[in-house]
Structure 1
Amino acid sequence: MKAILLAAGRGSRLGSHTLHEPKCRTMLLGKRLIDRQLEAFREASIRDIAIVRGYMAGRIQVAGATYFENRAWERTNMLASLCCASDWLEREPCIVSYTDIVYTSDVIELMLGADEDDDIVIPYNTNWLPLWEARFPNPLSDAETFRLGSDSRVFEIGGRPTTLQEVEGQFMGLLRISPKGWRMIQQFLSIQDQSLVERMDLTALLAGLIEQGVAIKAIPYNGLWLEVDHESDLLLYENEYGDRL
């Protein structure tokens, strides 16, 4: 199993924190976000790691890592960065991670233990609501729909919910993709308008795959998971999560 970290974006909503550093190198309680992710993968015994770079690419230097470059990072989204790592995705299963999130090796181990016959696997956080209530005056203003079928497959993802009943959890920015799963993704992308693909994030990708009948296996997880989008997130986590990070 290999890991691919998507680290091309600037993260302009973090303001001065990303003037001279890519978002993934933002400091949280004395440690950079990307270093926390690398630590989680290494604790789960995953040593082969690729990083998709873009904004201030030279600032991301990790010993032993393989680099892919998203040179169009200013006008593209997360899916375009993922496609930059197609060479790895075609060859063997990979765990893909956003780099503006915080988690532990527990969730990586959970993904490693998923059925090998499931070609696209995502963990979802079942304890998302207290975090969203702390981050937003109205948690539904930023949450996305997430509903499951009876077979632990994702039925709906990425919409705008109007009730909490539409949100059974939140996509965590982590997924495991097999080579077969990547072929299904490529087939889906081949029939999409290129300009749409450039703007598409991974949640929109998953929603599109589901519409085409592709099975997305979902695994519940209630451990540590934080998302960093705003300076207020950093302040919140420093105040509330210091003893857990």
Structure 2
Amino acid sequence: MTISKAIILSAGQGSRLLPLTRDIPKCLIELGGRSLISWQVAALVANGIRDIVVVTGFRTERVEDHALQLYRDTGARIRTLFNPFFQVADNLGTCWIAREEMDRDFIILNGDTIVSDEIVARLIDGVKEPITVTVDVKADYDDDDMKVNRDAEGRLHQIGKRLLPPDTNAESIGMLAFTGDGPSIFRNQVDQMMRTPDGVERWYLRAIDVIAKGNRVGTVSIEGLEWQEVDFPQDVEAAEALTAKWVAEGRYAK
């Protein structure tokens, strides 16, 4: 399996990180000498993904300028797509803005999640269904985790923050692969949900939860591999420690 395209959802400001994100979007936070999105691009490019669409919103000009620099640094085709509704719509709306880019196999990645190149490789190698959700496994899950219920074969049955502990056996890390019919299945579901009165208030993983009721949605476990979501100030500290480790290892050397 090879996947050559990725969509990064980076429209939000990251208000839970204020004042750090007062004038810069979350994806431009500097960690280990480079931006959060630069770490994401490095992991994707290391796995042969060279067509990358970044959906922007808050301070879009800064992200657009940075995307051009990343193109110069990596040679990958890095394009931006502005979401003018980023202040009033959640990330289902961001996916709707990017629906025309869902034209072939692709990976979607939340703009606040740093992943190692091994995780990207694990996802690509583990694809068995049209939609594949990358999950981690922990001893317990908090209220902010995007919790997952999956069966022994790895099929996803439910996904959402409100799953009860007895129904939770993994968490989504915010990276999914869509292959074969997966892009059209997802695109159609996003479009249907955006036509409803509460569509702008939905997260795109709600679409995956709905799809899982009638289609096979697979999961790939990355338990033991390195990643970090950056939502709160303490997450920034953890991400700085992780990227400092990667720098010391010479990973993704410029």
TM-score (normalizing by structure 2): 0.82
Determine the C-alpha separation between the residues in 1 that align with 2:108 and 2:142: 26
Q: What is the aligned-residue identity percentage?
A: 21
User: Which of the residues 148, 151, 155 maps onto 1:149?
Assistant: 151
Determine the C-alpha separation between the residues in 1 that align with 2:191 and 2:174: 23
Q: Is 2:61 the counterpart of 1:58? A: yes
Asked if 2 retains the 8 angstrom alpha-carbon contact of 1:143 and 1:160, the reply is no
> Which amino acid is the alignment partner of residue 113 of structure 2?
I
- Equivalent residue for 1:217? 218
Q: Is 2:114 the counterpart of 1:112? A: no
1:174-193 equivalent positions in 2, closer than 5 A: 174-178=175-179, 180-192=181-193, 193=195
- Equivalent residue for 1:200? 202
Q: CA deviation at 1:182?
A: 2.5
Determine the C-alpha separation between the residues in 1 that align with 2:191 and 2:240: 43
Determine the C-alpha separation between the residues in 2 that align with 1:186 and 1:4: 13
Q: Is 2:171 the counterpart of 1:170? A: yes
- Equivalent residue for 1:136? none
Structure-2 change in CA distance of 1:50 and 1:238 (3 Å): closer
Greater Cα offset, 105-114 or 177-186: 177-186
Segments of 4+ moved more than 6 angstroms? none
User: Which of the residues 101, 107, 111 maps onto 2:113?
Assistant: 101
RMSD of equivalent CA atoms: 2.2
Q: Is 2:18 the counterpart of 1:15? A: yes
User: Which of the residues 117, 125, 128 maps onto 2:136?
Assistant: 125
Q: Is 2:53 the counterpart of 1:40? A: no
Structure-2 change in CA distance of 1:10 and 1:195 (3 Å): farther
* Structure 1 unaligned residues grouped into runs of 5+: 133-138
Asked if 2 retains the 8 angstrom alpha-carbon contact of 1:29 and 1:242, the reply is yes
Q: CA deviation at 1:239?
A: 5.3
TM-score (normalizing by structure 1): 0.85
Greater Cα offset, 229-238 or 37-46: 229-238
Structure-2 change in CA distance of 1:190 and 1:27 (3 Å): closer
**Deviations, residues 176-224 of structure 1 (Å, cap 9, x unaligned):** 113622322233345434332212112222112223x122110111201
> Which amino acid is the alignment partner of residue 177 of structure 1?
F
Greater Cα offset, 153-162 or 55-64: 153-162
Q: CA deviation at 1:16?
A: 1.4
Asked if 1 retains the 8 angstrom alpha-carbon contact of 2:150 and 2:156, the reply is yes
